[in-house]
Amino acid sequence: MARVAVLHNTLDGRGGADAVCLHVCEALQSVHDVTLFTLSRSSLTDLNRLFDTDARVPVHRPPGTDLVCRTFDALPDRLGPQLAPRSVLLDRAFARHADRFDAAVSTANEFSLSLPSVQYVHFPQFNRRSVPAASSGWFDPLWSRLAGLGDGRLPSDTRLLANSAWTADAVEAAYGRRPTVSHPPVDPPPNPRPWAEREDGVVVVGRLAPDKRPLRAIRIVDGVRARGHDLHLHLVGSSSSIYADYARRVAAAAADRPYVHLDRDAPHSRIETLLETHRYGLNCKPEEHFGMAVAEYVAAGMVAFAPDAGGQREVLANRSDRLFDSTTEAVSTVAAAVEGGARPSLPRDRYTSDRFHDAIRGHVASVLDAPA
């Protein structure tokens, strides 16, 4: 049994990356002595309930974490969660404890660590100016340098994983090394209804955040209804203090429409029920790095739709009749599927958590067994 540190900058966004973190902790806790390092106020109890996980590991929050969280939460919604500076702070805090561990696992992208590591990259957080698909921002060179990655080189004892082939392309552009693709865990719900018994409704699962575009989802359903299709919409979103103002805008838009239902911070059981009982799943974030919500729709036996960009194209097998480039095209794509009686056709069990857990344990074992 080795001593393994799991690093995750913040769990307060309550998105797919955070689910991966909890699954990694769950996969490793039975075979290693695991400690989670994070700059986050969220409790594992709440997150386990949200993600249907069973992570039971000690959590190390560096001194000043609460102040750091309040400071970042006070930033305007349009600035986003500022993952790069959070990671720089976490890296500094972890460095004082690194010699206590045999290996580390980052579930929050790339770090320059002083010990063997497995690093799961959802999308590069540093050296983004080298990545064609990334918006780098003015401070990218500063954060990259402070993270010890300004030269675009990762430590040689780093094993890189990526959530999709599209993300792997981005990592290779930034660091000249291609990660192994390890898709995130998504289990099929246990009791999917037969197609004929499902409701003519659209489900959107995801954080109530600007990048997830829930307001765009409302406009799309507005447009499909204007074409004569009596669809309703369920927005199932985890809320975060990071995006409090935006969440209020989404709630107001939903309240104005009797056919839009908002489930904030719904337990996993409620999400499963909606996925099992509705026909259509919709994602609106462009260039989704993988698209866990899209994978959840497929696993539930739904007809899923997503923007024609990013890793979600892989999830939908690049089907042109499920992908769109604009709100107008999304309206036409969804309406055509409804009119044509489209049925789900993709395998439901491609991304099971058992597969993911086995892969993570194998990658950690490999870095622990590698010669110094």
Residue 316 CA: distances (Å) to CA of 283, 291, 294, 325: 11, 10, 8, 15
**Do the beta carbons of residue 297 and residue 315 sit within 8 Å?**
no
pTM of the model: 0.88
Residues 147 and 27 in one domain: yes
**Do the beta carbons of residue 181 and residue 168 sit within 8 Å?**
yes
- Domain assignment present for residue 344? The answer is no
**Do the beta carbons of residue 286 and residue 244 sit within 8 Å?**
no
CA distance 118 to 120: 7
Helix, strand, or coil (residue 273): helix
CATH at 257: 3.40.50.2000
Residue 218 CA: distances (Å) to CA of 14, 132, 221, 223: 21, 30, 5, 9
Residues 137 and 278 in one domain: no
H/E run at residue 211: none
Residues 62 and 173 in one domain: yes
- Domain assignment present for residue 360? The answer is yes
CA distance 10 to 125: 13
pLDDT of the residue at 65: 80
Question: What type of residue is 253?
Answer: A
pLDDT of the residue at 135: 67
Count of the separate structural domains present in the chain: 2
Residues 44 and 180 in one domain: yes
What's the domain range around 317?
195-339
Residues 55 and 120 in one domain: yes
Distance of CA 295 to the CA centre of its chain: 11
- Domain assignment present for residue 345? The answer is no
Residues 210 and 165 in one domain: no
Helix, strand, or coil (residue 226): helix
Q: Given the structure tokens 């995750």, which residue do they identify? A: 8
pLDDT of the residue at 268: 84
- Domain assignment present for residue 271? The answer is yes
- Domain assignment present for residue 190? The answer is no
- Domain assignment present for residue 49? The answer is yes
CA distance 155 to 148: 10
Residues 213 and 237 in one domain: yes
Residues 181 and 269 in one domain: no
- Domain assignment present for residue 347? The answer is no
CA distance 77 to 217: 19
Residues 113 and 215 in one domain: no
- Domain assignment present for residue 176? The answer is yes
**Do the beta carbons of residue 282 and residue 217 sit within 8 Å?**
yes
pLDDT of the residue at 267: 84
Q: What is the dihedral of CA 41, 47, 50, 51, to 10 degrees?
A: 140
Residue 233 forms beta bridges with which residues?
202, 260
Helix, strand, or coil (residue 192): coil
Look up residue 160 and give its DSSP letter.
E
Digitized pLDDT (tens) for each residue of the chain, 372 residues in all: 999 999 999 998 888 899 999 999 999 999 999 999 999 888 999 999 888 899 999 999 988 787 776 777 766 555 566 888 899 999 999 999 999 999 999 999 999 999 999 999 999 999 988 887 666 677 889 999 999 999 999 999 999 999 999 999 999 999 999 999 999 999 999 889 999 999 999 999 988 888 899 999 999 999 999 999 999 999 998 777 778 888 999 999 999 999 999 998 888 889 999 999 999 999 999 888 999 999 999 999 999 999 999 999 999 999 999 999 999 999 999 999 999 999 999 999 999 999 999 999 999 999 999 876
Residues 47 and 144 in one domain: yes
Residue 8 forms beta bridges with which residues?
38
Residues 79 and 60 in one domain: yes
CA distance 104 to 173: 24
**Do the beta carbons of residue 241 and residue 48 sit within 8 Å?**
no
Residues 180 and 227 in one domain: no
